[in-house]
Amino acid sequence: MATKFLALCIRSESRGDLSPRPHYPSMPKYPKGVAIEETSLMAEVESKAVFSVIGMTCSACAGSVEKAIKRLPGIREAVVDVLNNRAQVMFYPNYVNEETIRETIEDVGFQATLINDEGNETSTLVCRIRIKGMTCTSCSTTVESALQAVHGVQKAQVALATEEADVHYDPKIVRYNHLLTTIEDTGFEGILLTTGEDMSRIELKVDGVWTDHSMRILEQSLQALPGVQAIEFDSEIKKISLSYKSDMTGPRNFINVIETTGSSRFKANIFPGGGAGRDTHRKEEIKQYYRFFLWSLVFTIPVFLTSMVFMYIPGIKHGLETKIVNMLEIGALLRWILSTPVQFIIGRRFYTGAYKSLRHGSANMDVLIALGTNAAYFYSVYSVLRAATSPNFKGTDFFETSAMLISFILLGKYLEVLAKGKTSDAIAKLMDLAPETATLLTLDGEGNVINEEEIDSRLIQKNDVIKIIPGAKVASDGYVTWGQSHVNESMITGEARPVAKRKGDTVIGGTLNENGVLHIRATRVGSESSLSQIVRLVESAQMAKAPVQKFADRISKYFVPLVIMLSFLTWLSWFLAGKFHGYPESWIPSSMDSFQLALQFGISVMVIACPCALGLATPTAVMVGTGVGASQGVLIKGGQALESAHKVNCIVFDKTGTLTIGKPVVVNTRLLKNMVLREIYELVAAAEVNSEHPLAKAIVEYAKKFREDEENPSWPEARDFVSITGHGVKAIVQNKEIIVGNKSLMVDHNIAIPVDAEEILAEAEGLAQTGI
């Protein structure tokens, strides 16, 4: 008999994607003819079209455009670049033309224009450069101005918080090498991250004996590979950087060539930290500032004690005031000796920064620090030398001022780089969404699997066939060549409901395969993948300056000269006031004169006005905001969006999964027969436990509540289980025929639906619930 009941679940979801859990052998045989069809299609003439697509805002937009294009007949490959608003399509003209592709993009809801002149395709490239040595907004403004002045550069953005530059340039006029030279000419070190050209880049660590002869052989062997564009060697850290076209070659080919060249003397692997170079640099910087700060404390604390504390302890005070030559005291000499390493060795970075800044006609915070501490230090040196040469001169030194200032500034810099380091945590978490390893399949001519090999996911190349087992993450963007499964794509779409995947369907790297084995062919790898594009979007958002930050940058241009002027005026006004008795003499400490008091005020104005906070507060807040948003699945396009967010008074959400947990649950049960609820769920769970559908899982989870005394309840055996796609399931449980599904399944099995049940179903649908 068929058992009738009704369970209501949150979310309006049909069982359209319901399918039995597939069981596949580990070494399947592909249907005959697949390889032949693909080969015959590739033998035809292939064309390439590039479209400008206006209106895309995120990877989900790019995904919808790509999916729509790939549904057309005769499409070999479609790649959508959301950052540059471009779509590149490889197609067979016998099946489809450019106009049809353009109309398809517009049907999705975006404005599309065919770019006819291929020269325009790369008229603007965006390269990213890491810049070492910037300390404040003035530094970043100087670099930005220098880059903007280069002929061929259309736009340059330099972010102090990320220590990176985004440069939009015309490759016909200027090369990225010239941009690096320009940065070095301004006194900073530039490291190329991406060129923006249609090239992938990888860094390999090569262990072995490096000689000029072996390097020449390696270079010639690598250059012989098709698609290799540029090779750079760094013998100090045994690193080889390669730029290449990913559709022609890949990292496994490079490693193979390196390891088989020159009597197999070399061992190559991906350079550690290659994908997280920024983090490596940041950690080094944090360690460096921490070390400098500790060393400065070693010298500064004794200087502080001898000038501020020991002077009030009678026995020690007498010893420190002992005269050596004329009026020169032991205490003053000790302070001079101890503060000198802090001033010139530990504080050398401030001199270097000030020199570089002044050499290019600008002034940064290093100039202020160097001026302030030098004023205190050299006046103190003058005071000590005068005391040593004069029998009656009694002066005061400020050695503790210069040493303590440098120590406090180093502490501030240490805390600053710590804060900047935390901002990139979210991007690191995004990158972690990709699996570390992948199972590479080797196929024969008929499509049969002849070998499986586990490799680093960064070694995946275009057109590789990858095996994805249940519960594993998809290793690369691609399309399904064999198998069927459900894939959780909430990482990209925000919709938690798993999407059914069959042969020919596209999959996205980093998404989760829920059941079933899939074999996919990789189409976009490395920097071209959807996950990499999301990371680039977040990085671009962090680079973009908020309006208030642009205002702060404008102020910082005039800030340092203004502070120097105010500092001089402060000293002059206090000095003149002291000379002409403009304030009571009781204001002057017994150990000072009016000149020294004025000097102290002047130095104070100079050193407390460092513009670090002015340049770092907003970008750090933007980076933390965009980073936390990205880790929560919210992509924020820069500081401007955050700054204007307080004006929002209405938010429209387009997906239920955005607001709900994305997991259906049973909320109500109505019995239409006089039966025990526990018995009903016992039978239903026994049938549904064999299904992988989200609603089936929700029913089984709810049924467990009736067996709270058992941790992992076992359900009665279900015989003759059948999953009816789009309708439900049926099985024989305890000699009863159990049918669980939607209304149409009941009708198909000639089960009369009572009027009461019809009313309950209508009421549930009105509440956006699903009736079973």
pLDDT digits (tens, 9 = 90+) for 548-563: 777 776 776 777 788 8
Residue 507 banded pLDDT, cuts 50, 70, 90: very high
For residues 341 and 447, state if they share a domain. Answer: no
For residues 299 and 393, state if they share a domain. Answer: yes
Residue partners of 534: CB distance under 8 A and separation at least 6? 58, 59, 430, 492, 630, 635
For residues 415 and 291, state if they share a domain. Answer: yes
Any domain includes 650: no
What is the per-residue pLDDT for 660? 67
For residues 335 and 450, state if they share a domain. Answer: no
In whole angstroms, give the CA distance from residue 243 to residue 227.
Answer: 9
Strands 86-91 and 75-81: antiparallel
Residue 9 banded pLDDT, cuts 50, 70, 90: very low
In whole angstroms, give the CA distance from residue 206 to residue 676.
Answer: 70
Q: Is the predicted pLDDT of residue 645 greater than 80, yes or no?
A: yes
CB 666 within 8 A of CB 740: no
Torsion, Cα of 544, 546, 551, 553 (10° steps): -40
Determine the Cα angle at 475 with ends 473 and 479, to 5°.
105
Helix runs in 266-310, H state only: 277-304
Residue partners of 77: CB distance under 8 A and separation at least 6? 89, 90, 523
CB 101 within 8 A of CB 53: no
Residue partners of 565: CB distance under 8 A and separation at least 6? none
Average pLDDT over residues 661-668: 80
Determine the Cα angle at 620 with ends 615 and 624, to 5°.
165
For residues 11 and 55, state if they share a domain. Answer: no
Q: Which of 476, 464, 463 is nearest to 436 (CA)?
A: 476
CATH of the domain at 501: 2.70.150.10
Q: Is the predicted pLDDT of residue 334 greater than 90, yes or no?
A: yes
Q: Which of these three, 474, 494, 528, is where a domain ends?
A: 528
For residues 443 and 375, state if they share a domain. Answer: no
Which tops the pLDDT comparison, 348 or 693?
Answer: 348
What is the per-residue pLDDT for 338? 94
For residues 43 and 17, state if they share a domain. Answer: no
In this predicted structure, which of 191-205, 245-259, 477-491, 540-554 has the lowest mean pLDDT? 540-554
* C-alpha distance from residue 465 to each of 35, 470, 477, 489, 528 (Å): 13, 16, 11, 20, 17
Residue partners of 372: CB distance under 8 A and separation at least 6? 402, 405, 567, 603, 606, 607
Any domain includes 113: yes
* Mean of per-residue pLDDT scores for the chain: 80
For residues 410 and 337, state if they share a domain. Answer: yes
**b/e for 630-668, b at 16 or more Cβ within 10 A?**
beeeebbebbbbbbeeeeeeeeeeeebbeeeebebebee
For residues 510 and 418, state if they share a domain. Answer: no
> What domain range is 40 assigned to?
34-121
CB 492 within 8 A of CB 532: no
Q: Which of these three, 423, 447, 482, is where a domain ends?
A: 423
Helix runs in 432-546, H state only: 490-493, 530-543
CATH of the domain at 57: 3.30.70.100
Q: Which of 101, 11, 10 is nearest to 48 (CA)?
A: 101
Instruction: Give SS3 for 166.
Output: strand
What is the per-residue pLDDT for 610? 58
Any domain includes 15: yes
Which tops the pLDDT comparison, 155 or 663?
Answer: 155
Average pLDDT over residues 573-582: 91
What is the per-residue pLDDT for 662? 66
> With helix as H, strand as E and coil as C, how does 401-432 read?
HHHHHHHHHHHHHHHHHHHHHHHCHHHHHHHC
Any domain includes 380: yes
* Order of strands, sheet of 449-456, starting from the edge strand that comes earlier in the sequence: 449-456, 437-443, 465-468, 518-524, 477-482, 506-507
For residues 278 and 405, state if they share a domain. Answer: yes
Hey, CA dihedral for 240, 243, 244, 250, is it positive or negative? Answer: positive
Residue 36 banded pLDDT, cuts 50, 70, 90: very low
**Percent of the residues in the chain that have a pLDDT greater than 70, as a whole number:** 84
Q: pLDDT tens digit string along 373-402?
A: 898 899 889 889 988 988 887 777 889 888
DSSP letter (8 states) at residue 51: E
In whole angstroms, give the CA distance from residue 276 to residue 159.
Answer: 18
Q: Which of these three, 465, 498, 528, is where a domain ends?
A: 528
For residues 356 and 455, state if they share a domain. Answer: no
Q: pLDDT tens digit string along 176-215?
A: 888 998 998 888 888 887 776 656 778 888 888 788 888 8
Burial of 236 (0-12, 13-18, 19+ CB in 10 A): exposed
CATH of the domain at 10: 3.40.1110.10
Residue 19 banded pLDDT, cuts 50, 70, 90: very low
Residue 227 banded pLDDT, cuts 50, 70, 90: confident
Question: Total structural domains in the chain?
Answer: 4
Any domain includes 198: no
Q: pLDDT tens digit string along 583-603?
A: 888 888 766 778 888 888 888
* C-alpha distance from residue 312 to each of 144, 315, 442, 695 (Å): 52, 9, 82, 79
Any domain includes 591: no
Any domain includes 676: yes
Half-sphere exposure of 477 (CA within 13 A, CB side): 20
Catalytic residue among 654, 709, 720, 756: 654
Residue 340 banded pLDDT, cuts 50, 70, 90: very high
Any domain includes 714: yes
For residues 443 and 520, state if they share a domain. Answer: yes
CB 335 within 8 A of CB 369: no
Catalytic residue check, 748 = no
Residue 346 banded pLDDT, cuts 50, 70, 90: very high
In this predicted structure, which of 207-211, 302-306, 621-625, 730-734 has the lowest mean pLDDT? 621-625
